[in-house]
């Protein structure tokens, strides 16, 4: 049997003393950390506690590690609580959901303001839909305000140095210049993926031009402009857009140019120029044909003159051969031949004219000699 040593009570005392000192140190460290947390987050936690915002001190400490501004989250929770929104940790706008929206790049305070405004206006807008609209790049608060207070859009949109009126032409060709104001409110159900204001302006402009173009005369439009606006409104131009058209009002209307008359005048001038061009072509063809005919006449007349010049030598040969008998002499055609040769000399050329003239004169001399002998 082992005998107890005199140092055993002292060893037991040292262990108990060490455990006590360790416990005191841990308690002191915990108390120090608690004091630091209270010094930094105590005011926010107390503010949230007094407003019933349901934000724990550990959540505030965790936000610092996650780089989330705790003041923003607490402010948003207080806004939701005071507005009577559901801030339940399971189904409502819990602290974790608000932190997740901030970390995704969203505007937590802006989303809460939009939800509060929609709740006060009786518009059904929950946190999930508002968060999606905000993360899509749309201003959810402005969308709620436009849904509560409709917005007026000018058509066409005012631009520096741009057109201020729409131009449309009726069936009688008269131009009408119209300035339209479209009153719209935001459609929160189609805000995600819906078309913007530019689409509304384009569709309204197209509808106005189509409605005026279907009118028989411009006077019909001037007498009943509301028929045009009603017809455009009934077309359902706000389909697949982020807005709902409330009304379409014609702010200004004026008469422009007579487009139909101008087009008819331009067409008449074009037809006249075409007819003149065709007439000029026909005139040139006629002149060319005339010159061809003149050349052909000159050629045929030269052939006739050459043929007549061959007749006297043929008669002379016939007399010498005794193939011709005495008969009444033919009429004297000397003067006629001379005149014809003089007329034909410019056509048959300067070289052939003297030869033909000598032949004719020789034939005339021989005939005169025979006549003397006879």
Q: Tell me, what DSSP letter sits at residue 165? A: S
Q: Would you state the pLDDT for residue 358?
A: 64
Q: Would you state the pLDDT for residue 142?
A: 86
- Are the C-beta atoms of residues 110 and 75 closer than 8 Å to each other? no
Query: Within its chain, how far is the Cα of 160 from the centroid?
Result: 19
Q: Work out the pLDDT band at 95, boundaries 50, 70, 90.
A: confident
Q: Work out the pLDDT band at 334, boundaries 50, 70, 90.
A: low
With 0-12 / 13-18 / 19 or more C-beta atoms within 10 angstroms meaning exposed / middle / buried, residue 181 is middle
Per-residue pLDDT reduced to its tens digit, 44-61? 777 777 777 777 777 777
- Are the C-beta atoms of residues 151 and 195 closer than 8 Å to each other? no
Report d(CA 211, CA 342) in Å as an integer: 83
pLDDT above 80: residue 307: yes
Query: 3-class DSSP state for residue 94?
Result: coil
Q: Would you state the pLDDT for residue 37?
A: 60
pLDDT mean across residues, the chain: 77
Per-residue pLDDT reduced to its tens digit, 54-94? 777 777 777 777 788 878 888 888 888 887 777 766 667 78
Tell me the two tokens of residue 249.
């009002």
pLDDT above 60: residue 274: yes
Averaged pLDDT for residues 303-314: 83
- Confidence (pTM): 0.55
Q: Which residues, 6+ apart, have CB-to-CB distance to 96 below 8 Å?
A: 89
Q: Which residues, 6+ apart, have CB-to-CB distance to 366 below 8 Å?
A: 316
């Amino acid at each position: 049997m082992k005998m107890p040593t005199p140092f055993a009570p002292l060893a037991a005392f040292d262990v108990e003393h060490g455990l006590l000192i360790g416990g005191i140190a841990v308690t002191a460290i915990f108390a120090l950390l608690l004091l630091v947390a209270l010094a930094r987050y105590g005011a926010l936690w107390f503010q949230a506690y007094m407003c019933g915002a349901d934000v724990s001190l550990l959540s505030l400490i965790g936000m610092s590690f996650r780089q989330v501004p705790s003041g923003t989250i607490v402010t948003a929770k207080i806004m939701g609580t005071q507005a009577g929104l559901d801030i339940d940790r399971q189904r409502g706008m819990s602290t974790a959901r608000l932190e997740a929206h901030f970390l995704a790049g969203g505007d937590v305070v802006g989303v809460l303001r939009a939800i509060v405004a929609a709740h006060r206006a009786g518009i059904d807008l929950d946190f999930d839909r508002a968060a999606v609209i905000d993360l899509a790049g749309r201003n959810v608060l402005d969308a709620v305000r436009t849904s509560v207070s409709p917005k007026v859009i000018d058509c066409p949109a005012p631009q520096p140095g741009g057109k201020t009126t729409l131009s449309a032409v009726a069936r009688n060709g008269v131009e009408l210049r119209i300035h339209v104001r479209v009153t719209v409110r935001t459609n929160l159900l189609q805000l995600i993926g819906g078309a913007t204001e530019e689409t509304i302006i384009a569709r309204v402009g197209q509808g106005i031009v189509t409605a005026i173009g279907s009118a028989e005369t411009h006077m019909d439009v001037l007498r009943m402009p509301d028929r045009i606006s009603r017809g455009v409104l009934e077309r359902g131009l706000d389909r697949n857009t982020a807005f709902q058209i409330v009304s379409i009002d014609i702010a200004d209307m004026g008469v422009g140019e007579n487009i139909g008359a101008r087009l008819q005048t331009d067409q008449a001038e074009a037809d006249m120029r075409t007819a003149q061009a065709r007439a000029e072509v026909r005139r040139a063809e006629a002149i060319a044909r005339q010159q061809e005919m003149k050349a052909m006449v000159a050629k045929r007349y030269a052939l006739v003159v050459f043929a007549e010049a061959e007749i006297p030598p043929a008669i002379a040969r016939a007399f010498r051969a005794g193939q011709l008998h005495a008969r009444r002499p033919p009429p004297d055609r000397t003067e006629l031949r001379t005149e014809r040769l003089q007329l034909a000399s410019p056509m048959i050329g300067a070289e052939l004219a003297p030869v033909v003239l000598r032949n004719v004169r020789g034939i005339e001399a021989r005939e005169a000699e025979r006549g003397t002998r006879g």
